[in-house]
Structure formats: C-alpha cells, structure tokens
C-alpha cells in the first residue's frame, strides 16, 4: 500500500519546468549582434540629432545627442528654401514607375526562363545574367549618347526607360519560380489555360515574397539614385530629392542642419516601404534559390 501511495503522490506532484541555460557561445553571438546593430544604427541617430541643431552645433565635440533646444524650424525651412515638394514628387514618380515596370518585366521574363522550354534557353539566361558583372560606369556614356539621339535627354523618361529592365530581378524571380512544381503548370495547361493566364493567375499570386523582395531592392535603389539624375536632369523642376539636397551647399557656406533635416524626410518613404514588406522580404530571401 505504501508503494502505491508513494507512486500516486509522485504522479500528483507538479514537475518544475527546466530552466534553459544559455550557452556562452550563443550569449557571445547575441552580444556581437547587438554591438553590430548599434554601430549600424548610430549614423541614423546622429543624423536625426543633427537635423534639430544649428550648423555650429552639428560638429560640436563631445557630441550632444539630445539637443538642449531642438530646432524644429529646420523642418519648416527646408520646404521654403528649396522646392523640396517638387523634388519629392519627381523622385516618387520615377521610383514608383520604375518599380512597377521592373516587377512586371522581371517576373514576365523569369517565367519564360523558368517554365518554358525553347532553344538556347540556358545560354540566353546566362548571357543576360552575365551583364550584372559589368559595372554601369562602363556603358554609362553610350547610354547617355543613345538617350540624347532619342531626344530623351533632360527628361524623366530617360531614367525610366534605362531602369525598366534588370538582370538581377530576372535572376531573383527565376530562382523563385524554379521552386514551384512544374506539375502545377502542366495541370493548368491541361485545363486549357494559356501561358499568360498561368503567369497571371498562378505564378504571380504564389510569388508575393519574391516580388516584395524585388520591390524593396528596386524602390531603395531608385529612390537613392544620385548619379543617374545628375547626368540626365539639368532643369530644377525635373530634379530629384537626392540632387536637390546639394542646393543647401553654396559657394561660401553649407547648411548642415537643413541637409540632415531634408535627409530625414527623404528617408521616411524608404522606411515605410521596408516596414510594410518586411515579412514578405524575409520569406523571399529565405525561399529564393531552393531549387535551381
């Protein structure tokens, strides 16, 4: 009887959850990640702090991270001293159009390279992808001459046409499409769907992670582009925000506080796009290239 009672008491006795011990190696890894994160975030914190200071306070040492008297007037002056609203509109216009075009052309071409069988498919794909290794500065001058012959110099269309196609986007989307079973496309063809319908109704809905990843890369690269607008745009009403920031730099002085304030404003759309698509972005990076 005593044995049975002891067994029942043991069963009824609540078991304490075991505490998970963090290994020293994992703890060091977390500490290293925190240090690297702090180093990467520090310039943005300094930019935000400098945007609320006078010019003489920006480079004061030691750095005063929280200004005693924040100058919010900087965020008002940047809209009055230069046509910042026009620059933001031009940048948003070019960025949105280029992003939509790259999503369309990259996904369309990637479907052909991934799911259609035609002569020299792999050779053409490798030849197209090989252009990624060629720096843009190599063919920058021929492109400028070509746009000038087309009469597109000093227009937004020059930037839009030159950035509407991207080999990186085709590579990214093609690798994702390769992870989708071919049997899905074959079943759709048996049901009478055309290749355009398969791409629109099946492939695109399944490729939200890859499309979000490409959207973030394209949006950030186009929004922050400096050299392209510098080459093709000369009129003030056509310039983008990255070129407009230079207007705070005069021959005798530089308005560092206003430059930092305008930089903070230009960073907001990028943060909004990234935070909105972050979940799909991580999933797209993790799933792209599983099969190739």
For residue range 242-287, list pLDDT tens digits in order.
998 888 887 667 788 888 999 999 999 998 988 888 777 666 555 5
Do the Cβ atoms of 105 and 113 come closer than 8 Å? no
pLDDT in tens, 165-196: 999 999 999 988 998 888 888 998 998 889 89
Kindly state the DSSP code that residue 236 receives in the 8-state scheme: G
Please compute the mean of the pLDDT values over residues 217-234 and round it to a whole number.
Answer: 91
Sign of CA dihedral 112, 114, 120, 122: positive
> Residue 154 in contact with residue 234, Cβ under 8 Å?
yes
Residue 7, pLDDT > 80, answer no
Residue 27 clears pLDDT 90, i.e. is over it: no
DSSP letters spanning 21-43: PPPHHHHHHHHHHHHHHHHHHHH
Percent of the chain having pLDDT more than 90? 35
Decide if pLDDT at 291 tops 60.
no
199 DSSP 8-state letter = I
Write out the two tokens for 272: 């909004």
Domains in the chain, start-ordered, CATH in brackets? 74-287 (1.10.3720.10)
Taking the CA of residue 283 as centre, how many other CA atoms within 13 Å lie in the half-sphere pointing to its CB? 11
More confident: 241 or 10:
241
Strand-pairing partners, residue 279, are: none
């Amino acid at each position: 009887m005593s044995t049975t009672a002891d067994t029942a008491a043991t069963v009824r006795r609540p078991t304490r959850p075991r505490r998970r011990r963090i290994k020293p190696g994992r703890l060091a890894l977390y500490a290293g990640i925190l240090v690297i994160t702090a180093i990467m975030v520090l310039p943005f914190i300094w930019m935000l702090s400098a945007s609320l200071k006078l010019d003489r306070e920006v480079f004061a040492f030691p750095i005063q991270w929280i200004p005693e008297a924040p100058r919010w007037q900087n965020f008002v002056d940047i809209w009055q001293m230069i046509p910042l609203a026009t620059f933001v509109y031009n940048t948003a216009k070019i960025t949105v159009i280029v992003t939509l075009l790259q999503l369309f052309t990259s996904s369309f071409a990637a479907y052909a390279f991934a799911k259609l069988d035609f002569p020299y498919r792999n050779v053409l794909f490798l030849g197209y992808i090989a252009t990624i290794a060629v720096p843009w500065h190599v063919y920058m001058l021929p492109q400028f001459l070509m746009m000038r012959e087309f009469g597109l110099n000093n227009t937004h269309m020059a930037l839009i046409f030159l950035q509407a196609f991207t080999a990186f986007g085709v590579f990214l989307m093609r690798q994702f499409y390769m992870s989708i079973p071919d049997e899905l496309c074959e079943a759709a063809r048996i049901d009478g769907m055309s290749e355009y319908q398969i791409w629109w109704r099946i492939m695109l809905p399944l490729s939200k992670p890859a499309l979000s990843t490409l959207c973030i890369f394209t949006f950030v690269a186009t929004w922050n582009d400096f050299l392209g607008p510098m080459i093709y745009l000369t009129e003030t009403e056509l310039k983008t925000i990255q070129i407009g920031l230079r207007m705070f730099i005069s021959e005798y002085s530089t308005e560092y506080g206003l430059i930092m304030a305008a930089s903070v404003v230009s960073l907001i759309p990028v943060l909004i796009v990234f935070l909105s698509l972050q979940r799909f972005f991580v999933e797209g990076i993790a799933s792209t290239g599983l099969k190739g």
